Amino acid sequence: MRGVSLQLVASVAFISYCNVSAWAQEAPADSAQESEAAPSTGSGIQDIVVTAQRRAENVQRSSLAINVVGADEINRVGVNQAKDLVSMVPGLQIASGGNTAQTFIRGVGDFSSTALGQSAVAYNVDGVYVTDTASIFPQFYDIQRIEVLKGPQGTLYGRNSSGGAINIITNRPNVNRVEGNASVEFGNYDMVRATGAVNLPLSGQFAARAAFNYITRDGYLSDGTDDDSQRAGRLQLLYDNGDGFSLLINGDIAHRGGKGPGATVQPRAAGNGKFVGAVDAANNAYLQANSFLPPFLIYTPGAGLPPTAPSGLKRDMYVDNTQRNISAEINYDLGGVTATFVPAYRYSSNHIGSYIASIPFINDETTRQQSYEFRLSHNSDRIKAVAGIFYFDLDQFSHYISYTSLIPGLTADSKNNLDTKSIAGFGQVTFSLTDSFRLIAGGRYTHESRKIDGFRMPVTGGDQVDYTGDTDFNNFSFRGGLEYDLGPLNMLYATVSRGFKSGGFNTFQGMADQPNYYRPEKLYSYTAGLRNRFLDNRVQLNVEGFYWDYKGSQQTHFAYDPTGTLQFMTFNAATATMYGFDVDLTVKPTPADTLSFVVEYLHTKFNDFKYDIPTVQYRPGSTGCPVAIEGSFTTIDCSGFVLPRSPKWSGTASYQHEFSLANGAAIVAGGDINFATRRYTAVDYVEAQNVKGFMRGNAFVTFNTADDVFSVTGFIKNIGNAEVPIGGIEAPFAPGLVYSTVDAPRTYGVRFQAKF
């Protein structure tokens, strides 16, 4: 692949569990498709069926770069929010940035924390694209499976999928049976979670499914942050006439509260232990001691944000997010071709008061999103094809206030109205030249119009600064490749694809030599791999190598705009490359034992990454990159550095065994380890952002009754209580001091489940 030689060496030194059983969604009646997608039976490794290519297919017969987390593993691990996926999917990094889920796959992601930014990994819930990642957090209940697609997905998923896509597929109504489940979980940090669902056939053609989720938990950090408070409910109504027509209506509501995400300070203050929050008194003093500003110019957290804010805010840390969503999916069999229409409306109102690298801020955002997708699909022995059009209309309002000192009036106050309209046409076909050799070709053309209208009150006071922006982006993404069956259970594949992430705006008035918009980023992916089953379906070995060519990478950090105002700014780095390989081994030596090992090697490098800041604003020690001072501007050259949040090695390893009891009941016990090597958490490249590698162990034991109706699970996660930084931003007034978001400490608890 473009001169890159990848030597793939699989060594089973430690083994892991991957108990996956994911079932196909409702699919159009087609004998060829049903045959291909049917799960394997027996005591061997069970097949995983996905719909990532808008049709049901067995993962082992697909050329997708994909990891799938099934319902059993979701329940076992206790997935409550997006960042819980990190321990199960190598190469995936997720952290909280304000209200957003900062999601990175193999170093490609987005570091922003407001509506101005856009995720480079496209989240989709039941086939609906979700632009507001804050509304992803309360979606993790009553889930059938989660699909994590690595690499550009521009053909079928379009905008903002340069790094990949994460598909959350919930359980659908079933017209054939009454069923339901309920669980309650208790754990340390006063954690309580209750969740449940019920499916009711209303007639031979109608069914309804209702589900709910409730979580409350104290904060993991000493200042009470990193807590969890969720309330969510979902109602689905299905009509299926049994003759090729179905209508699914899906509505959900959710609220997320509490103090919200927090951070630790790195390097640690003398005497501080693990999980000491940024608002802790010791870290307040630590900030003042390391800042180049005099203490009276630094706001000290802990006494309530300044009441001079227009909102009259009196408390330090809070999250108050509400969302309401409704969508539909209409399928109609036209005879050899199935028509599908997916209209959706999503509303979210997000409010947060928090800190970004020692700066208190308030951010109030409202998002209204409409999307409409119409597609035609055909599935036969020879041709599997999909084509369609997609329309997306997004209105966002953002009010952002940050406080730089205790002096009245010294605040940064900005309001922004953003409007996005996007339309795309797409198609993809898999054509079988022979029974064992298939060709893939697909493309998508996107036209997008983006506008911003806003104003900002300068930090130093003075007149209001108005700014506007209006620009269009056009893009063509594609996917091509081949698949060759070496045998009934062995497949070779190679693909090439391109995806993009839309451009956007910064909050200053653009000028001819420096517009306030940044360009789209594009990623080219070259992938080759093998999927194999051996020894009567008891061994599965999948190997994949990849090479990525990254152009116009969007990077965000504190910088000074042309007016000299310090703010989060996004700009395009020039080029970067990434290459590596994945090895995924699963072994089921007996019906009672499952072992597996998943590892990813990743090499990343910015080939060309330079940016300028005013020399008067440059502070020594604020970057780990080489610096060249030339008159009024200082050039920071980070070329040759690795991409942020891209560990060289990451993976999981675990084991599970089922003990059968004499009365027909069973005890299932297992454990796993997940690990990642050293990585940078942000692009300042200061030493405190170069976080060490980690290895975390988890264990569980479950008792299941003979009729499989009741179960009790005891679990412990992060047994060694490792403090694992997952994000980090440098304090602008204290060079080298980093505010790091961290993953959960040691947690343990018990879960009671029942189903009927």
Question: CA torsion angle for 552, 557, 562, 563 (degrees, to 10)?
Answer: 160
pLDDT exceeds 60 at position 640: yes
In the predicted model, what is the mean pLDDT of residues 88-106?
A: 89
Integer Cα distance of 369 and 738 in angstroms: 35
In the predicted model, what is the mean pLDDT of residues 279-283?
A: 81
Q: Provide the pLDDT for residue 461.
A: 61
641 falls in which pLDDT band (50, 70, 90)?
very high
pLDDT exceeds 80 at position 719: yes
In 136-292, alpha helices (H): 281-290
Q: Provide the pLDDT for residue 460.
A: 58
In the predicted model, what is the mean pLDDT of residues 666-675?
A: 96
Tell me the per-residue pLDDT of 256-275, one tens digit each, with 9 for 90 and over: 999 999 899 999 988 889 99
Cα-atom radius of gyration of the chain, to the nearest Å? 25
In the predicted model, what is the mean pLDDT of residues 518-541?
A: 95
**Amino acid making up residue 235:** L
Q: Provide the pLDDT for residue 48.
A: 86
C-alpha angle 384/386/391, rounded to 5°?
A: 170
- Is the omega angle on the peptide bond into residue 28 within 30 degrees of 0, that is, cis? no
pLDDT exceeds 60 at position 678: yes
Find where tokens 């940090």 sit.
189
In the predicted model, what is the mean pLDDT of residues 139-145?
A: 94
pLDDT exceeds 60 at position 2: no
In the predicted model, what is the mean pLDDT of residues 196-210?
A: 95
Q: CB neighbours (10 Å) of residue 635?
A: 16
Integer Cα distance of 112 and 558 in angstroms: 10
* Burial annotation 30-63 (CB, 10 A radius, 16+ → b, else e): beebeebbeeeeeebbbbbbbbbbbbbbbbbbbb
- 34 three-class SS: helix
Q: Provide the pLDDT for residue 295.
A: 66
Q: Provide the pLDDT for residue 316.
A: 64
The CATH number of the structural domain formed by 31-755 is 2.40.170.20
Least confident segment among 90-104, 431-445, 577-591: 90-104
- 72 three-class SS: helix
pLDDT exceeds 90 at position 605: yes
462 falls in which pLDDT band (50, 70, 90)?
low
C-alpha angle 627/630/633, rounded to 5°?
A: 80
Q: Which of the pair, 358 or 611, is modelled with greater confidence?
A: 611
Angstrom distances, CA of residue 314 to CA of 303, 305, 318, 322, 362: 9, 6, 11, 21, 11
pLDDT exceeds 80 at position 298: no
Percent of the chain, pLDDT > 70?
88
Burial grade of 549 (CB within 10 A; 0-12, 13-18, 19 or more): middle
Query: What's CA 716's distance to the chain center, in Å?
Result: 24
Q: Provide the pLDDT for residue 510.
A: 74
Closest CA to 73 of 660, 755, 656, 709: 656
Tell me the per-residue pLDDT of 371-429, one tens digit each, with 9 for 90 and over: 999 999 999 999 999 999 999 999 999 998 876 654 544 567 889 999 999 999 999 99
C-alpha angle 529/533/538, rounded to 5°?
A: 140
Sign of CA dihedral 603, 607, 612, 616: positive
Q: Provide the pLDDT for residue 538.
A: 95
120 falls in which pLDDT band (50, 70, 90)?
very high
pLDDT exceeds 60 at position 4: no
Q: Which residues, in sequence order, are CB contacts of 718 under 8 Å at separation 6+?
A: 696, 697, 698, 724, 743, 744, 745, 746, 747
Tell me the per-residue pLDDT of 326-337, one tens digit each, with 9 for 90 and over: 999 999 999 999
Q: Provide the pLDDT for residue 315.
A: 57
Least confident segment among 13-22, 506-515, 533-542: 13-22
Average pLDDT taken over every residue of the chain: 87
11 falls in which pLDDT band (50, 70, 90)?
very low
Q: Which of the pair, 570 or 344, is modelled with greater confidence?
A: 344
Closest CA to 724 of 645, 667, 663, 664: 645
pTM of model > 0.85: yes
Closest CA to 301 of 314, 316, 288, 287: 316
In the predicted model, what is the mean pLDDT of residues 453-472?
A: 81
In the predicted model, what is the mean pLDDT of residues 670-699?
A: 95
Sign of CA dihedral 53, 56, 58, 61: negative
Query: What's CA 707's distance to the chain center, in Å?
Result: 37
Closest CA to 136 of 178, 90, 96: 96
Q: Provide the pLDDT for residue 39.
A: 47
